[in-house]
Structure formats: structure tokens, C-alpha cells
Structure 1
């Protein structure tokens, strides 16, 4: 009895040490990727700029000030003013807030719904799998831009409505990815053994399938964030985004393109640079996370 009592804590300690060792190995793999570390720093700086910047640099982004329209950069307006007289630096901060919030929200919602849908479809299989995947195929066949234009003509766009619309498209590819991983995982020995011992399906999914899909899901989620930011920018460029005084980088970019031949470069290039930097940084982080996941799987 005493031997059994001492064996259980030692086994638990060994499992904890194994998990900590895997975490340290994953962290070392990430830190070794200097490009990924630099991308993480860039993302942190962009987030601080968008959310902390307005607390330091106060501007009026609510009402138009037509007497200040299209002013060049100066000590008063560091990045000049917009065609409506609003401070461009303040607009970049405000537009970055909505852009980053949308990207993160879409990444989380699309990943969560795609995880549940794909796991159930792949694990249950049979008729349920066929019906669920045909629904995915049918939704993928709907042109996204046509759907957004139709929706914008019916209701007034809001940030949360756009988040739901983009998430409603983004989860489809995630569900396919998770389904493929689930089809592979459910044939593993430990899942078959647990099923043979009478474990219910919900326990197999929650205990053995979903945790092993999370690594791939995190990588895919970062890419969804980048795709959502680009999609939001495209909608803003087309005038299908949230109406003023709210703004986003795509809407700022559209206004800058309209005035580029008038020499108002400050209305175009800063927004373009922020979009490119953010999307590139998120994509590089996604690649780095993929390397970390692959290194973790190789240790199993």
C-alpha cells in the first residue's frame, strides 16, 4: 500500500516534468526563429499604438472640421489631416482598433465553430459526416462579395455584423481542416483503446480529439486573423464597411487613393504600411507556430 502511494505522486511528477519539458522545447523553437520574435514585437507595438496611443495623442474623430481639410503634416497634425479635416494619425489609431478587434474576433469565432463542426463531422462519420460536409460545400459556393453587397443594401453595417459575416465564411475551411485531422486521430491506438473500454463519444472527443487538434487550430487561427484583416480592408476600400465617424485602415486607404494624384501622400501610405506590416507579422507568427507544433508532434 505504501509503495502504491509513493508511486502515484512520482508518476504525476514525471508527467508534469514531461509537459514542462515540451513547453520549454516549444518556447526554444519559437525564440530560435528571430523573424517570428521580430514579428511579435511589431504586433505588440502596433497594438500599443492603436489602443494606448489615443490616451496620449488626443484628437477629435467625431465631427468633421472642413476648415482643416487636406493639411500637410505639421507639428499640430503629425500626419496631416483627412479630406474631412480629421487628424490622420488619430484616424490610424482609431482604424487600427476596429481592424485588430475584427481580426482577433474572427480568428476566435471561426476557429471555435470550425473546431466543433469539423470534430463532430469527422468523428461520427457516415451519413452525419456526408450531410455536414455538403453543407460546408454549399456555403463555400456562395460568392462572398455578392453576399456582402446584398447584406449592405438591406441593413446598416456595424462592426459586429461584419465580424459575424466574415466569421460565417472563415469557419468553413477550418471545419474541413479539423475534419481531416479528426479522421486521422480517431484511428490512433489510444482512441481505439479508450473506445474499447466503453468511453462515451463525447468523452473521446473532449479528452482525446479536440486537445490534439488545438495545435493545428492555433496555426490556422492566426492565418484567419490575417485573412480577416485583409477582407475588412477590402470591404472598407469598396465602401461596404462601418460608416463614419468610425473608420478602418481600408476606408482610410480608399480615401487616400482618391486623392493620391493631388499629392496627399499622408492619406495613403501610412494606412497601407500598417496593413502590410500587420498581415505580414501575423503570417510569420503563423509559420512559427506551425514549426512549434511540428516539433512538438515529432517528440511524441
Structure 2
């Protein structure tokens, strides 16, 4: 008994040592692959910076973003003639600090982007798994539902729903979630149609494994990689949709701050005070490009045909 227990302890120690080595090695491998790609590195750094800015906005913003200062109305950026060192990116038509508003605007843009994509992903993955696995009548019904959603322009559908229920952060997240799930459903369904014909799925069916266990333990893990890629790219699209709806006045409402709302406020002054629309536009553009670059890198890394 003592020999057996000693052997078991040795095996456990060896196993734990191997697991500890594998985790850092996996992390190092991912970092190496990331820094091999210039666009991937740029995307990762910018996305990480935006996330940190959103988290620590309270500490980074020099002023209250909604503080009105009539004495500092429409002050240009500090490097422009007439600019003030107190307001690096200038002020808006109410004297509010532009840098502070852009910093706080990152919170809503990320919140809406990530939440809407998470909601759309849950719906789309569920529909895709069920349709692809069961096929037949279930597949036909669910795919016709997908086709009906594809026939409706996303922005038009969002405008109709928001005009009926009224604009708010929660409503916007739900609307963007239920209008973007179809791409996940189509992707997951296509993957499942291929995976369910493989030997390990047929073997699980032959020994009587329940359908829900096959879906969760065999099919779902195999569709995670393409799901992560498309989700990353969808965050960029959702941020643009949120900014577009806020620009039209049906998205985030004051006093809540979003980049689209700041852009909308500055459109009436673009001829005389260019910074009001330029800086939120740059924030949206750079963030979206960074997310796209990061998504492209993820697609290359997670592609099973990749030689990395």
C-alpha cells in the first residue's frame, strides 16, 4: 500500500508539474504569435488601452464631463491659437471639457458593443446548434426565421423598435442583440452540419449519449473558435451602429455620454469648431480599426489551416 500511494503521489506531482508548464507555454506562444503580427499588436494595444480608459475613466478624466462652464465655451485645443492649457482637446458649445467627455464616452461604447454582441451570440449559437444538429423540419423553420431577419435592414429595424419603446441603454443593447444574431446562427449551423458527421459524434450517439450532452460537450467546443473571431469583428460593427443611432438622436440620451452623442452635438459647429466632431470621430475610427485588426489576427491564429 505504501508503494502504491508513493507511486500515486509521484504521478500527481508529475501531472501538476506538466500542467504548470503547459499554461505558461501556451501564454508565451500566444504572445509570440501576437507580436509577430504588426496589425495584431496594434489592435491589441489600442483595445487594451480603450478598456483601461473606460475602467479608470473616473481617475483619468480631468473634469466632470457634464460640468458646464460658460466662460470656456468653444475653446479650441491647446495647440491651436486661442487654446487653453486647461482643456487639452478644447471645449464644446457649453464649455464642457472634450477630453473628459471622450474618456467617459468609451464606457458606453464598450458596454453597448460587448453586451449586444454577447446577447446576439447566445441567441445565434443556440439557434445554430439546434438547427444544425436536428436538421429536417426544425432546421427549415429556424433557417426561414433567419432569412426573414436578413430581409430587414438592421438600421431600419433598430430605428422602428427604438421609436416605439423609446431610446435607452438597455433598449439599445436588446435591439442590437436581436438584430445581429443571424450571422452567428448561420456560421454555427454550417460548422455543426460538418462536425456532426464525424466519427466521435457518431460514436457518442451509438452508445446512447443524450442529445443535449452531445451538443454541449462535443459540438459547442468545436464552434468556439469561429464564434470568437466573428464576435470580435461584430463588436466593431455594433460600436458603429450605436454611434449612428446616437447621432440620429435615437441612441444614448443625455446626460449619458457616448461617442455618437458627442459627434451629434458637434455637427452644428463643424464649420467653425472642427474639434467638436473630429475627436469623437477619431475615437470611433481608431477603436473600430483596432478591433478589426485584432479580429483578423485571431482569425489567422484560430484557423486550423494556419501553419503557426
TM-score (norm 2): 0.85
- Distance between the aligned counterparts of 1:216 and 1:290, measured in 2? 7
- Give the deviation of 1:150 after TM superposition: 2.5
Q: Which runs of 5+ in 1 are unaligned?
A: none
1:292 to 286, 297, 301: 301
- Distance between the aligned counterparts of 2:213 and 2:162, measured in 1? 42
Equivalence for 1:29: 33
Q: Which runs of 5+ in 2 are unaligned?
A: 1-6, 78-83
Against the structure 1 CA distance between its residues 23 and 191, is the aligned structure 2 distance closer, same or farther, given a 3 Å change threshold?
farther
Q: Is the 8 A contact 2:162 2:171 kept in 1?
A: no
- Distance between the aligned counterparts of 2:92 and 2:28, measured in 1? 48
1:226 to 221, 236, 248: 236
Determine helix, strand or coil for the equivalent of 1:59.
coil
- Distance between the aligned counterparts of 2:169 and 2:258, measured in 1? 10
- Distance between the aligned counterparts of 2:26 and 2:200, measured in 1? 20
Equivalence for 1:253: 263
Range with greater deviation from structure 2 (56-65 or 111-120): 56-65
Equivalence for 1:271: 280
Q: Is the 8 A contact 1:122 1:179 kept in 2?
A: yes
1:283 to 271, 275, 292: 292
Determine helix, strand or coil for the equivalent of 1:243.
coil
- Give the deviation of 1:15 after TM superposition: 9.4
Alignment of 1:103-252 (within 5 A): 103-252=113-262
Range with greater deviation from structure 2 (57-66 or 80-89): 57-66
- Distance between the aligned counterparts of 2:26 and 2:100, measured in 1? 43
- Distance between the aligned counterparts of 1:8 and 1:134, measured in 2? 53
Q: Is the 8 A contact 1:106 1:224 kept in 2?
A: no
- Distance between the aligned counterparts of 2:179 and 2:128, measured in 1? 14
Equivalence for 2:74: 70
Aligned residue-pair number: 296
Q: Is the 8 A contact 2:61 2:104 kept in 1?
A: no
Equivalence for 2:51: 47
- Distance between the aligned counterparts of 2:64 and 2:23, measured in 1? 50
Determine helix, strand or coil for the equivalent of 1:77.
coil
Q: Is the 8 A contact 1:238 1:254 kept in 2?
A: yes
- Distance between the aligned counterparts of 1:34 and 1:60, measured in 2? 36
TM-score (norm 1): 0.87
Range with greater deviation from structure 2 (64-73 or 34-43): 64-73
CA RMSD of aligned residues (A): 2.9
- Distance between the aligned counterparts of 1:80 and 1:207, measured in 2? 54
CA displacement 1:98-136 (0-9 Å, x = unmatched): 001111112222222211110111001110011011111
Equivalence for 2:65: 61
Q: Is the 8 A contact 1:94 1:246 kept in 2?
A: no
- Distance between the aligned counterparts of 2:224 and 2:150, measured in 1? 23
- Distance between the aligned counterparts of 1:139 and 1:179, measured in 2? 16
Q: Is the 8 A contact 1:50 1:92 kept in 2?
A: no
